[in-house]
Amino acid sequence: MRIVVLAGGIGGARFLRGLMSAVPDADITVIGNTGDDIHLFGLKVCPDLDTVMYTLGGGIHEEQGWGRAEETFAVKEELAAYGVGPEWFGLGDRDFATHIVRTQMMSAGYPLSAVTEALCARWQPGVRLLPMTDDRVETHVLIDTADISGSAAGDGEGRKAVHFQEYWVRMRASVPAHAVVPVGADQAKPGPGVLEAIADSDVVLFPPSNPVVSVGTILAVPGVREAIAEAGVPVVGLSPIVGDAPVRGMADKVLAAVGVESTAAAVAKHYGSGLLDGWLVDEVDADAVDEVEAAGIRCRALPLMMTDTEATARMATAALALAEEVRA
């Protein structure tokens, strides 16, 4: 079975681990979000690709869900001693090596897709990990300047776009987001193999990744959404919203920016029946099933907490079963 998964970071990576356990023989292609990518200290950092790579390759910091296990921070401390920031983005020593290799290869002219393949040669994630695009896409978040602490009073009213990581990591999404813009996406081309993998797939899955800044960004690359719709295969998603709140993180803030309520049903309707055939919600949201089905999307309720690989594998199995149900 050929499965395509559109993945962000933690939610995507943990789901993939369960999926691989549920169907060890499946041929899985992961289309990874690169809208979170950022240049720091002259290095190209791809947080979501790395989270997938480290999680599936056994190098992830398990409790944290991102970054390397057994990490040290000597480089970060030395940079801070020079007064060189940003200090709010936690790059550890082991992680730095990944970004150095990536940047070096890109400086030599390799596209991100080739670099990702080279990095994966070490980590052996067991899936084909494809960046959504080789072009530069950067998610920006529009906020009120008045909400930025430290901005001088009388600065005037206005709005300002900040890099997604600045909004998410530095500001912890503590101020309202008015818009989320995947800058560059409209000009981006799907990465090598992306459209082919979708066209050749038997099923497309949306893991419980962030619907706006992870899956939404991948769908913003022209051609991807169309390829999924045209593939004519079941498309099944799993809700990252459980009990009207994100299981982890601040997805409610970016959902609000695109006018979507933080409920499992609202997220399904945001994707829409033109894209989604099936949707899994947590058992605490069983009430949402009728509303989702009324919107033309087949829906089932079951436990959706990725507490361990076994629990996550049951979610993956249910997603594939729902895919077969809508295919029939």
Q: Would you count residue 9 as binding ligand GDP (CB under 6 A)? A: yes
Q: Would you count residue 318 as binding ligand GDP (CB under 6 A)? A: no
Q: Would you count residue 35 as binding ligand GDP (CB under 6 A)? A: no
Residue 51: both structure tokens together: 């989270």
In the stretch 34-63, what mask flags binding to Ca ion with x, by CB under 5 A? --x-----------x---------------
Task: Give the C-alpha separation, 160 to 164, whole Å.
Answer: 12
Q: Would you count residue 256 as binding ligand GDP (CB under 6 A)? A: no
CB of 304 to ligand GDP, least distance (A): 4
Q: Would you count residue 211 as binding Ca ion (CB under 5 A)? A: no
Query: Segment near Ca ion (CB under 5 A), from 31-39, 73-81, 249-257, 273-281?
Result: 31-39
Task: Give the C-alpha separation, 277 to 257, whole Å.
Answer: 25
Q: Would you count residue 304 as binding ligand GDP (CB under 6 A)? A: yes
Query: Segment near Ca ion (CB under 5 A), from 1-9, 110-118, 176-184, 269-277?
Result: 1-9
Q: Which is nearer to Ca ion, 133 or 313 (CB)?
A: 133
Is the link from the previous residue into 86 a cis peptide, with omega within 30 of 0? yes
Task: Give the C-alpha separation, 86 to 263, whole Å.
Answer: 34
Q: Would you count residue 9 as binding Ca ion (CB under 5 A)? A: yes
Residues that bind Ca ion (CB under 5 A): 8-9, 36, 48
Residues that bind ligand GDP (CB under 6 A): 7-12, 48, 51, 208-210, 214, 238-240, 242, 246-249, 251, 304-306
